[in-house]
Amino acid sequence: MKYLVRDKIFAIGEDYWIEDEQGRHAFLVDGKALRLRDTLELKDPDGKVLITLRQKMFSLRDAMTVERDERPLATIRRKRLSLLRNHFRVTLVDGTELDVSGRILDREFTVEYEGELLAHISRQWFHVRETYAVNVVREDADAALLVAVAVCVIRMAERERGDD
């Protein structure tokens, strides 16, 4: 299933819809303004919070936490010692690790678990420059988590580059 994201610099307090392939609203990204730390909520079309992304306050390296139902689900960090491409690691609370790698700022990257492709993020499917897709490859994958990971690593890479 592909989810379409209208690309923009993600500013605090900015809300936008992510659509499915049929153009229906699938997720709302709700940027929370006036918070001490960077916070985003991924909501379903009815407004229910599915995933909360928060910047970690006291971390040596830039990191964001992923929460579901106000409980920690994962931590996202830039992978150390990665020279050629952008790499992020998503560490779930159960110890499972997802690898995010590719050209993050170009919106051309993948999310994998033990070498198995879970999602492919790309602009190549669109002629409109400001749009990219999060293609969730596995039907049993957590689409909300994978969309949240894509949004989060792009935000972290842009902040690191100084776009925020």
Note the pLDDT tens digit of each residue in 8-49: 644 545 788 999 989 999 999 988 754 555 788 999 999 999
pLDDT at residue 73, as a whole number: 96
| Contact yes or no for 123/132 (Cβ under 8 A) | yes
- Distance, CA of 18 to CA of 7 (rounded, Å): 10
pTM of the predicted model as reported, rounded to 2 decimal places: 0.86
Tokens representing residue 141 in the block = 């994958």
- Region 98-124 average pLDDT: 93
- Distance, CA of 133 to CA of 125 (rounded, Å): 7
User: To the nearest whole number, what is the mean pLDDT of the chain?
Assistant: 85
